[in-house]
């Protein structure tokens, strides 16, 4: 998954021919017009089913006054979903040959995440992880099969890399058995240790040979998944508001929450897509940090929707928590999202102190909004929207100044190439 100037043989390109089985060899890193496939889009939609289940259980835990326990379970479940998704995404960017066997193995991974989703409620409510572990095992065994196909079709350093991936993934599944056999108090430590081990497998495997992932394709895949997660957030919040209005006739109390939530989600979308991140991926060796950091982006984006549901339940008297706690359920994940997007994306393209401070300052102000009572969510939405307006204004002034001085129309990206001018 690391960025490298080393390229695979240029002959790869897009899958060709109509044979049902083809060698699973690397695609070209410089392949033109590389976009997400229909199978990848279907894969993403199925994974969001599990994310939605994790969000529902997080709502129940926070609204019931068990925020600490709920957040811990959410972090563990979300890691399993995100890690399986991420491994498939980077693998597909490098090796997707779209033959019949590749599609069938991908279907097995989809089945695995659906099994995992079926076990989420039991994991939260009864601390029983057997079904979650089984779903994760299915996904990871399918991923191992893909890497073994690569090892069979390649040789030398690339084959060594594929075998390291396959062996590392299999060994990790033994470690995850600790969630089933150890006492409940030891499970958070099992999760922490095994998450670090899982994260180390790609680092170790790709020391032998870097995979030939495609920067534009990876940027698009992450962007599409962000959109899907934000869409799920809107859907969950909409259902919560509708139920509150239908069952409690509380339109006046819920309108500020609905309006603020919509502003937050729209600002989250705008801020994420404001920069051409593929340029950073093409030239920066910290692609591991970028890919891994999206755990926080995806988890916080989904948690915003759960927080909006909690705020709705508290407003209509169904949640056993204070207004402050319900407000924090929205503002804290929103602030985390803003800070993480700034750290992974925006800071590489902002010019000057004023632009660099927009998102960190906004995150701080969103946290302050927590203490504004029933108007906390609406205020956080306004602050998020103002961050977009401020970014647009600062960028417009910078562009006008450069044009007036006879300069180029946009800031340089991290690779030194002139990037398209961001609008926030």
The secondary structure of 344-367 as a DSSP string is HTGGGT--SHHHHHHHHHHHHHHH
Whether residue 268 is found in the same domain as residue 304: yes
What is the model's pLDDT at position 410?
43
Whether residue 193 is found in the same domain as residue 260: no
Whether residue 180 is found in the same domain as residue 267: no
Please indicate, yes or no, if residue 75 is contained in any of the structural domains. Answer: yes
Whether residue 263 is found in the same domain as residue 346: yes
Alpha helix ranges (H) inside 187-250: 187-205, 215-248
Whether residue 189 is found in the same domain as residue 303: no
Residue found by looking up tokens 């068990």 in the block: 66
Whether residue 220 is found in the same domain as residue 361: yes
CA distances to 92, 139, 145, 155, 211 from 161, in Å:
16, 20, 14, 10, 9
Please indicate, yes or no, if residue 380 is contained in any of the structural domains. Answer: yes
Domain span at residue 298 reads: 216-404
Furthest-apart CA pair in the chain: how many Å? Answer: 68
Q: Please identify every stretch of the chain with a pLDDT value under 70, giving residue numbers as ranges.
A: 1-18, 279, 282-286, 348-351, 396, 398-424
Please indicate, yes or no, if residue 25 is contained in any of the structural domains. Answer: no
Whether residue 195 is found in the same domain as residue 62: yes
Backbone angles phi, psi at 412, to 5 degrees: -80, 140
Domain count, the chain: 2
Please indicate, yes or no, if residue 415 is contained in any of the structural domains. Answer: no
Please indicate, yes or no, if residue 152 is contained in any of the structural domains. Answer: yes
Please indicate, yes or no, if residue 201 is contained in any of the structural domains. Answer: yes
Please indicate, yes or no, if residue 7 is contained in any of the structural domains. Answer: no
CA distances to 233, 236, 255, 321 from 245, in Å:
18, 14, 10, 20
What is the model's pLDDT at position 285?
63
Question: Residue 182 in 3-state DSSP?
Answer: coil
Distance CA 12, CA 395 (A): 40
Question: End of a domain among 168, 191, 213?
Answer: 213
Question: End of a domain among 213, 233, 256?
Answer: 213
What is the model's pLDDT at position 16?
52
Whether residue 54 is found in the same domain as residue 193: yes
Whether residue 123 is found in the same domain as residue 229: no
């Amino acid at each position: 998954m690391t960025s490298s100037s080393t390229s695979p043989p240029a002959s790869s390109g897009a899958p060709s021919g109509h044979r049902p089985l083809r060698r699973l060899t690397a695609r070209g890193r410089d392949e033109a017009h590389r976009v997400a496939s229909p199978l990848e889009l279907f894969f993403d939609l199925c994974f969001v089913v599990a994310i939605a289940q994790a969000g529902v259980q997080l709502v129940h835990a926070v609204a019931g006054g068990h925020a600490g326990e709920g957040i811990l379970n959410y972090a563990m479940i979300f890691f399993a979903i995100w890690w399986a998704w991420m491994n498939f995404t980077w693998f597909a960017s490098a090796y997707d040959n779209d033959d019949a066997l590749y599609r069938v193995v991908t279907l097995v991974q989809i089945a695995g995440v659906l099994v995992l989703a079926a076990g989420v409620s039991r994991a939260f409510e009864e601390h029983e992880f057997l079904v979650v572990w089984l779903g994760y095992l299915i996904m990871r065994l399918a991923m191992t099969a893909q890497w073994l196909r690569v090892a069979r079709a390649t040789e030398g350093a690339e084959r060594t890399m594929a075998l390291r991936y396959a062996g590392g993934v299999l060994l990790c599944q033994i470690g995850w058995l600790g969630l089933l056999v150890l006492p409940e108090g030891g499970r958070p430590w099992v999760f922490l240790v095994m998450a670090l081990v899982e994260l180390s497998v790609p680092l170790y495997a790709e020391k032998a040979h870097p995979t030939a992932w495609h920067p534009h394709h990876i940027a698009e895949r992450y962007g599409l998944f962000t959109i899907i997660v934000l869409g799920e957030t809107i859907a969950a919040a909409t259902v919560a508001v509708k139920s509150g209005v239908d069952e409690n006739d509380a339109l006046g109390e819920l309108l500020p929450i609905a309006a603020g939530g919509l502003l937050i989600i729209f600002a989250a979308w705008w801020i994420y897509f404001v920069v051409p991140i593929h340029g950073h991926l093409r030239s920066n060796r910290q692609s591991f940090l970028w890919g891994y950091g999206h755990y926080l982006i995806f988890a916080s984006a989904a948690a915003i929707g759960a927080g909006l549901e909690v705020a709705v339940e508290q407003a209509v008297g169904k949640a056993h928590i204070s207004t402050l706690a319900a407000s924090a359920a929205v503002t804290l994940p929103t602030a985390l999202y803003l800070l993480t997007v700034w750290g992974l994306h925006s800071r590489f393209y902002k010019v000057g102190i004023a632009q660099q401070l927009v998102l960190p300052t906004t995150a701080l102000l969103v946290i302050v909004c927590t203490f504004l009572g029933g108007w906390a969510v609406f205020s956080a939405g306004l602050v998020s929207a103002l961050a977009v307006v401020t970014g647009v204004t600062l960028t417009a002034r910078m562009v006008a100044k450069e044009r007036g001085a006879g300069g180029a129309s946009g800031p340089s990206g991290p690779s030194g190439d002139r990037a398209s001018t961001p609008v926030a």
